[in-house]
Structure 1
Amino acid sequence: MKRWRALALDVWAIAGAVDLRTKIMGIVVGVVLLFGLGATTLVHHGFEESLRGQLEKRALTVGRDLAARSTDPLLVNDLFQLYSLVRDAVSTNEDVRYAFVQDSSGQVVVHTFGDGFPRLLATANSTDGTGSQLQILNTEEGLVWDVASPILGGKVGTARVGFTDHRLRDAVNAMTRWLLLTTVLASITGLLAAIFLTWVLTQPLLNLEEVAHKVARGDLTVRAHIWAKDEIGRVGMTFNAMLDDLRRAQVKNEEATQELIRKEQSRSQLLTKVITAQEEERQRIARELHDQTGQSLTSLLVGLKVAESASTLGEARERIRQVRDVAARTLQEVRTLAWELRPSLLDDLGLPAALDRYLTLYKQQYGIEVDLHSTGFEHEDRLPSEVEVTLYRIIQEALTNVARHAKAHSVSIVLDRRPPEVVAVVEDDGQGFDAAKVLRSSDVRSRLGLYGMQERASLLGGTVLIESSHRQGTTVRVAIPLNGAVIRQSEANHEVG
């Protein structure tokens, strides 16, 4: 069993190594040859049996006829008439090889062999008088159908006729040759049809193979040629649809890659800006501490020294009053500096209170009217600290952009806390700009502020939508999910305390 299985695997391996074109042509030609040779063999045997049957019937008929016609001449011993009868039997039937008549004792009376009668032929076949007897003799000339027909029941003698199968064989061979020629012609026709069929079948497959090789090399622009709408054609259409999907995915990946590169560049620029801003902020704080707070403290020292050296109590009181004014101004400067670094109200009272304080300073500094409307902040639950800081900085950045670029007269801010998200909208009546163009700009600095707002919101899973058009103002909408995280006002106050 294992040997047969191994043999089957070897045969399958050999067949599998042959290309499809050879397989199809081999199958077609093999089937044509198999059926052609099988049909030829069947027809050959059937035709031969049919002719042999006819030959036997003719031999019996001719033998009986010769026996019937030989009765009277044999009774009167008319040898001439008997010879005429046997000669006519041979001459009128192409298949009759010989004919002769025997008397009741078995002696040959007349025959058609000329001078020499075969010695053993007289006894090769006989009849019992009840009917004709057919005997097939194997002679030097081939098979002979020898018929012995009794004359008057065998009382007078016997008529013998020998039929050869030469014409039968010639007819069978001619039929066989014709069938073989037909098989060859059918094989040639089948081979041509197989060549055409293999071309029709393999051409789309070869085209698919070529396209697959190009796709494997990374070319997703090629497409398979659809030759027909059959099964192979549907495979080609499915393959092309797959390539279309791959191409779209490739384009999306390339766009996503470019977007990642752009974001990474913007992030790098933003990081640089943050570091630069930190250094600038340190320089500003150092400068303000040196120029303002330092000078104020120096004035305090000088004032105290002057008060110490005052000659009268009134002069000392005046000097102390001046020192107190300087101390109050210095304290205000330190508070303002601390507020700019991080508003304490944001930690103490929450986002609306911190924004209200910032907007008061904003109005004083830039002269732009700003109104704030907040909903959903009436209860004691605070927003998460990171959400409050993010919204505060985004709104602060939006207002800074309004002051620098918008040439606006008024700004409206709406805070809407509606779980599961909080939304902030900053809308101005300024000159507007093309937001999409700025965001697509290759100049990173021109979009850094907008990108910074988007980056802050995205860190918390939020979004920033900027709508603006020329002379129609600008609207910045920020939405940040809350995810159910809130801080109790009492807890916040406790932590601050």
Structure 2
Amino acid sequence: MKNFSRLTLYHKILLLALSMLALLGILLGLLLWNSLYDLTGQQLDQRGMEVTRHIASLSADHVLTDSRYSLHELISETRKNNTDVSYVVVQDAKQGVLAHTFSQGVPRGLMQANPGIGSSVSIVRLNTSEGMVRDILAPIEQGEVGYVRVGLLEDPMRGQIAAHLRNLILATLAVCLLAALLAANLASRIASPITQLALSADQISRGQLNVQVPARSHDEVGLLAKAFGQMAQSLSRTNVERDRLLTELARKERLRKVLLNKVLSAQEDERKRISRELHDETGQALTSLLVSMRMLADRTTDAQQREILLGARDLAANTLRDIRDLAVELRPPVLDDLGLLPAVRKYLTQFEQRHGILVSFTAIDGRVHGPTAMALYRILQEGLTNIIRHADAQSVEITIDIRENHIELIISDDGKGFIVKSLDHTRKDNRLGLYGMRERAALLGGTLTISSAPQKGTVITVVVPNPREE
């Protein structure tokens, strides 16, 4: 059965057709053999009775006149004229032998093999040295005068049957051969379109959607081929439309990145401008105000007024310090002057002092400037802001690994963590801090991954290409 399943459809159909033809031929041969065998047996019995009765009718007078010479002439002539007659024996009413055609006497036991009863014809099949013989015993004058026993050979008639059967078998084989050729042609007509469909399906699976599937007939296979061709054309049109949409989507994605880069660049430029104005103009104005208030406090003689002026001066000094911190946070000058690592160290020192969270910083020395440094600095700022807002952490570990081909930033905390899949809900709630970090990394051609679980803390890993200076 396994070997049958490995055959092609053509060979399966052909094998089934040949098997059915062979089975039909065998059954037909057996049926014909049995039918001819039975018919031949009936014909032999009929012929034997005719010969025996003919001899009985001719030998009655010879038996009554006891003319044994005439009886011998009669049975000898009968045996000579009928080649299928093996022997003839004439008996009297008491089963005594009056004449026979045996050259060496009547074989022992022949009379007992078919003793005969009354006036009816008795037929017994005997196995002799000449083959199967039908021993036919017929009475003469109802058995009152005697009996005639004739041995009729079966082989001549069987030989004729075998010859006819051989001719029939040859004719059957010829018909089976013709039927096999027709079955092979039919199998080819059925299997060829299906094989073509299989080849076309294989070509389509490899992306060759312009394949043509010919429909050579109007039967079910032809309808299947037509439907298959229509499906291939539909897939081709769908792929063309898909490619067009993908091209348009890629174009819009490139445009989105360009616009996002411009937005972030404009944002950084605006932060730089505001930082400079806060540091220069607002800072200088507050410094002048502090000097003026100090001078007024030194000149006044009223202790109450002096206390008020000194309190206002301290408030202005605190405001000046906060403005300067804000200006640095908006655009740290050290980031432009010294690069990423010094800016991060300074920011982490201020972060630890301001929020009371233990910060561990590990970095491999290297210089990172430009957009990459700014993006990583902003990602770090946003990550630490999220820790303050949501993590309830006691310590933070920051690692910056500057390699030849890439830069890796790792932000790890021991906070309460969260289920990463819940980020979809935070996005719906417009809490876009993590998504902004991911967008910044993607704009640099990098990735941002998040690993977290409830009460297990959070690890944010950012990997971006290292823009090595030529």
Structure 2 counterpart of 1:73 = 62
Query: What is the alpha-carbon distance in structure 1 between the residues aligned to residue 53 and residue 162 of structure 2?
Result: 30
Amino acid at match of 1:160: R
Structure 1 counterpart of 2:180 = 191
Query: What is the alpha-carbon distance in structure 2 between the residues aligned to residue 81 and residue 278 of structure 1?
Result: 147
Q: CA deviation at 1:278?
A: 8.8
- The alignment's C-alpha RMSD in Å is 2.9
Query: What is the alpha-carbon distance in structure 1 between the residues aligned to residue 258 and residue 93 of structure 2?
Result: 137
Structure 2 counterpart of 1:211 = 200
Do residues 34 (structure 1) and 10 (structure 2) align? no
User: Structure 2 vs 1, CA of residues 103 and 268 (structure 1 numbering), >3 Å: closer, same or farther?
Assistant: closer
Which of 119, 126, 145 is the equivalent residue of 1:156? 145
Do residues 169 (structure 1) and 158 (structure 2) align? yes
Do residues 230 (structure 1) and 219 (structure 2) align? yes
Query: What is the alpha-carbon distance in structure 2 between the residues aligned to residue 68 and residue 47 of structure 1?
Result: 31
Q: CA deviation at 1:267?
A: 4.3
Q: CA deviation at 1:128?
A: 3.5
User: Structure 2 vs 1, CA of residues 128 and 192 (structure 1 numbering), >3 Å: closer, same or farther?
Assistant: closer
Query: What is the alpha-carbon distance in structure 2 between the residues aligned to residue 173 and residue 39 of structure 1?
Result: 15
Query: What is the alpha-carbon distance in structure 2 between the residues aligned to residue 112 and residue 148 of structure 1?
Result: 15
Q: Normalising to structure 1: TM-score of the pair?
A: 0.50
Do residues 55 (structure 1) and 16 (structure 2) align? no
Q: CA deviation at 1:224?
A: 1.6
Describe the superposition over 1:21-80 as per-residue Cα deviations: whole angstroms up to 9, x where unpaired: 221111101100111110110110011101111111221122122112111111112223
Q: CA deviation at 1:275?
A: 7.7
- Mapped contact 1:108–1:122 kept (Cα < 8 A): no
Structure 1 counterpart of 2:122 = 133
User: Structure 2 vs 1, CA of residues 271 and 104 (structure 1 numbering), >3 Å: closer, same or farther?
Assistant: closer
Secondary structure of the residue aligned to 2:150 is strand
Q: CA deviation at 1:83?
A: 1.9
Query: What is the alpha-carbon distance in structure 2 between the residues aligned to residue 219 and residue 131 of structure 1?
Result: 89
Query: What is the alpha-carbon distance in structure 2 between the residues aligned to residue 270 and residue 154 of structure 1?
Result: 131
- Mapped contact 2:92–2:146 kept (Cα < 8 A): yes
Structure 1 counterpart of 2:325 = none
Q: CA deviation at 1:192?
A: 2.0
Secondary structure of the residue aligned to 1:260 is helix
Query: What is the alpha-carbon distance in structure 2 between the residues aligned to residue 85 and residue 148 of structure 1?
Result: 17
Q: CA deviation at 1:99?
A: 1.0
Do residues 121 (structure 1) and 110 (structure 2) align? yes
Q: CA deviation at 1:182?
A: 2.9
Q: Percent identity?
A: 33
Q: Normalising to structure 2: TM-score of the pair?
A: 0.53
Where does 1:369-388 land on structure 2 (aligned, <5 Å)? none
User: Structure 2 vs 1, CA of residues 272 and 145 (structure 1 numbering), >3 Å: closer, same or farther?
Assistant: closer
Amino acid at match of 1:238: A
Query: What is the alpha-carbon distance in structure 2 between the residues aligned to residue 162 and residue 97 of structure 1?
Result: 5
Stretch deviating more after TM superposition (170-179 or 59-68): 170-179
User: Structure 2 vs 1, CA of residues 270 and 128 (structure 1 numbering), >3 Å: closer, same or farther?
Assistant: closer
Amino acid at match of 2:58: R
User: Structure 2 vs 1, CA of residues 275 and 145 (structure 1 numbering), >3 Å: closer, same or farther?
Assistant: closer
Secondary structure of the residue aligned to 2:201 is helix
Secondary structure of the residue aligned to 1:70 is helix
Describe the superposition over 1:204-235 as per-residue Cα deviations: whole angstroms up to 9, x where unpaired: 12211111111111111112222212111111
Do residues 107 (structure 1) and 103 (structure 2) align? no
Secondary structure of the residue aligned to 2:113 is coil
Structure 2, unaligned runs of 5 or more:
272-470
Structure 1 counterpart of 2:84 = 95
Amino acid at match of 1:72: D
Query: What is the alpha-carbon distance in structure 1 between the residues aligned to residue 39 and residue 33 of structure 2?
Result: 10
User: Structure 2 vs 1, CA of residues 101 and 264 (structure 1 numbering), >3 Å: closer, same or farther?
Assistant: same
- Mapped contact 2:125–2:135 kept (Cα < 8 A): yes
Query: What is the alpha-carbon distance in structure 2 between the residues aligned to residue 23 and residue 68 of structure 1?
Result: 67
Describe the superposition over 1:249-295 as per-residue Cα deviations: whole angstroms up to 9, x where unpaired: 1111111122223334444555677789999999xxxxxxxxxxxxx
Amino acid at match of 1:22: H
Query: What is the alpha-carbon distance in structure 1 between the residues aligned to residue 29 and residue 97 of structure 2?
Result: 44
Query: What is the alpha-carbon distance in structure 2 between the residues aligned to residue 129 and residue 274 of structure 1?
Result: 131
Structure 1 counterpart of 2:456 = none
- Mapped contact 2:75–2:88 kept (Cα < 8 A): yes
Query: What is the alpha-carbon distance in structure 2 between the residues aligned to residue 203 and residue 126 of structure 1?
Result: 72
Where does 1:338-349 land on structure 2 (aligned, <5 Å)? none
User: Structure 2 vs 1, CA of residues 123 and 275 (structure 1 numbering), >3 Å: closer, same or farther?
Assistant: closer
Query: What is the alpha-carbon distance in structure 2 between the residues aligned to residue 236 and residue 152 of structure 1?
Result: 84
- Mapped contact 1:90–1:98 kept (Cα < 8 A): yes
Secondary structure of the residue aligned to 1:159 is strand
Amino acid at match of 2:156: R
